[in-house]
Amino acid sequence: MDQKARSILKARTVLAQGHGAGDSVTRALIPPVHVSTTFLRDADNGYESGFVYGRTDNATVRQVESVLATLEGAVDAKLFGSGMAAATAVFLALDKPTHVIASEVIYWGFREWLVDIGRYGGHSVSFVDTSDLDAVARAVRPGETGIFWIETPSNPLWTITDIAAIADIAHAAGALLCVDSTVSTPIITRPIEFGADIVVHSATKYLNGHSDVIAGAVVAARDSALWENIHVVRGHLGAIVGPFEAWLLLRGMRTLEVRLREQCRSASRLAQLLVSQDAVASVLYPGLKTHIGHDVAAHQMDGMFGGMLSIRLRGGEAAAIRVASRVEVWKRATSFGGVESLIEHRSSIEGVGTPCPSDLLRLSTGLEDPDDLFEDLVQALAR
């Protein structure tokens, strides 16, 4: 099936079949893992197969990239050894230093890296509440601003940024718009449809879904010199994901749509139930109609509002830490997007300078029964 034919299939079908199940040699239903690091040359010393060396390319990796590009409506996708490797490759591929406008609340590890590149990479970074379009417009430096980097919903405050509106501001300034869409995945939001130029994922999270693979991805709306540079950077740094990890990632992605739909359903139910708990000061979830960004979220999120939410506790930091220590069904662990439900006190993890309130607990719903998850939280809150 060619790319055009694939593009009209529903995401669930694309994922289930993974762009070509089967092996042409054995007729096995499941595609093989291609682990070779080197490839035979042709008689004329060329490489008719298109594969030269494992550090720069791999057939198993290509299959996953093809699926992801189709899901995003993109021209191409590149897999990396981690989400951080993917995100940083965008900046390492730039021809020259630039001014960056970034969401105030983004993945903490990448936020720290952006601060660091301002110190030694020549870039300058302005962190802005990107849900405030006026503030974003004021942050633009004509002739200097080259990249807008947004994360929506923002983790863990779940602020919603209007992708299309930011795309207009970015493109009017002659800048690129990059969107970290790890939380939404292409099942919920396809940023390219709203004007994004680059989309980044930590594939470790929902795309894989089983907490057993570290990987990342960069997706491009169109071919460009920057996109070619990103490919070169990946090869030079040896940042490609391993073939077995890519195979595991593809296996995880095949159930992405059905997993995520259930996780979103559970998160929505929990958000509605937790609003009425006396110990809970507020519930942060864009699916609630009281959420300030709900209308924008309803427009750019495809009928689902994500599998994560946060709660802020009336008892402050001490209460939040106590609740996290007393749950039994929820697991106290970093990361999100897996089949197990995770709870975390983010501000103590992120440390000094975090924009995360100290009374906040981040909840990542897995595939457990939502009633069991709720009752576990209730008993922890009551104690």
The type of residue at 227 is W
> What are the residue ranges of helices labelled H in the chain?
3-6, 11-17, 59-72, 83-92, 108-120, 133-139, 163-172, 185-188, 225-237, 243-253, 256-274, 294-300, 316-326, 346-350, 370-382
Sequence-ordered list of residues with C-beta below 8 angstroms from that of 168, at least 6 positions apart, any chain: 195
Between 21 and 374, residue with greater pLDDT: 374
243-253 and 59-72 helices, crossing angle to 10°: 40
Residues of the chain with CATH 3.90.1150.10: 256-382
Is 236's pLDDT higher than 80? yes
Q: Specify whether the CB–CB gap between 279 and 322 falls below 8 A.
A: no
Q: What is the pLDDT of residue 6?
A: 55
Between 282 and 116, residue with greater pLDDT: 282
Is 2's pLDDT higher than 60? no
Q: How many other CB atoms are there within 10 angstroms of residue 243's CB atom?
A: 19
Give the tens place of pLDDT for each residue, 189-216: 999 999 999 999 999 999 999 999 999 9
Q: Specify whether the CB–CB gap between 271 and 230 falls below 8 A.
A: no
Which H, E and C letters describe 42-108, residue by residue? CCCCCCCCCCCECCCCCHHHHHHHHHHHHHHCCCEEEEECCHHHHHHHHHHCCCCCCEEEEECCCCH
Q: Is the pTM of this model over 0.75?
A: yes
- pLDDT interval class at 27 (50, 70, 90): confident
Tokens of 176: 């690129």
Q: What is the pLDDT of residue 9?
A: 84
CATH class in words for 256-382: alpha beta
CATH topology (fold) of 3-253: Aspartate Aminotransferase; domain 2 (3.40.640)
Distances from the Cα of 8 to the Cα of 75, 201, 383, angstroms: 15, 23, 52
**What phi and psi values does residue 201 have, to the nearest 5 degrees?**
-135, 140
The reply to whether omega before 156 is within 30° of 0 (cis) is yes
Give the tens place of pLDDT for each residue, 315-354: 999 999 999 999 999 999 999 999 999 999 999 999 888 8
| Segment 133-148 mean pLDDT | 98
Q: What is the pLDDT of residue 128?
A: 97
Residues of the chain with CATH 3.40.640.10: 3-253
Tokens of 4: 């055009």
Q: What is the distance between the alpha carbons of residues 158 and 38, in angstroms, rounded to a whole number?
A: 45
Average pLDDT, the chain: 94
Q: What is the pLDDT of residue 3?
A: 54
Q: What is the pLDDT of residue 29?
A: 85
DSSP code at position 33: P
CA 346 to chain centre: 18
Tokens of 11: 């995401």
Active site residues: 55, 107, 180, 205
The type of residue at 253 is M
